[in-house]
Amino acid sequence: MSILSQLPQWLKPEQALKGLAVLVVGMAAAKALSILARRAALRRSAGHTGMLVGKVVYYALFILVAVLVLDVFNVKLTAILAAAGIMSVALGFAAQASVSNIVSGLFLLIDRPFEIGDAVDLGTTKGTVTSIDLLSTKLRTFENLYVRVPNESLVKSTVVNLTRFKTRRLKLTFPIPPGADLAAARQVLLGVAAEYRHALQDPRPFAVVAGFDESGAALELYCWVGSDAYLQSLSDLNERGAASLAAAGFPLSCPHRRVLVREE
């Protein structure tokens, strides 16, 4: 019996109400069980693992509910499966990317390069991870833009987790004019770092002479700060370091060019 020939039977009130009841109750149960599975997974694993487990449970139950609804209407799955077998070759090529993304999502789940709430740098995109799904990972950029990244691209590319560790090291460069007392200039920078509220004293800040060029010497200040205060510390220490060096008689140097024009 074809599906079209069964349409008059589906339109019967008792048959339609029974199918609708199975659908509503089944979807409600699928939603509730997926929430319970996600909460149970969150007690033993990270946030993105719980979210993924909840979605897998939901989609599995959704398929089961769909099968039950078809059974209510006496729809035989053999014809549907036969049609699916004929279309499997064509759909296989179309689904290659999706399957690859799903497998990559499982790799991300096992490897755990980032979690929901982490700030990541993907090279061309920086942002906070808001969701890790079967096919893709969603980011909210620092400019408050929504970005969807396929999981396969994440597995194949370099991902820098900016907030995995609680501390980060700053590297600040200050050009010092030729002939300046480098030891005194180093002490000025170390004094600035020691007084800065976000600077950690373990590991202690240190300054080195990185090299010399036509502008003089390059002093580099290394300082550990909390990850959440990285950008603020970068701005503050650059500003305070330059001001303190200038006040101590070490203005920042910059290259100068003198152009001589000889007239014939």
- pLDDT, one tens digit per residue, over 158-216 is 999 998 999 999 999 999 988 889 999 999 999 999 999 999 989 999 999 988 877 78
* Fold: same for 112-161 and 167-247: no
Confidence of residue 100 (pLDDT cuts 50, 70, 90): confident
CATH for 167-247 (3.30.70.270, 3.40.50.11810, 3.30.70.100, 3.40.50.720): 3.30.70.100
pTM to 2 decimal places = 0.62
Q: What CATH number should be reported for the domain whose range is 112-161?
A: 2.30.30.60
Strands 119-121 vs 146-150: parallel, antiparallel or unpaired: unpaired
Residue 35: strand, helix, or coil: helix
For the residues 141-159, what does the mean pLDDT come to? 92
Domain positions in the chain are 4-94, 112-161, 167-247
> In what side-by-side order are the strands of the sheet with 126-132?
146-150, 136-141, 126-132, 119-121, 160-161
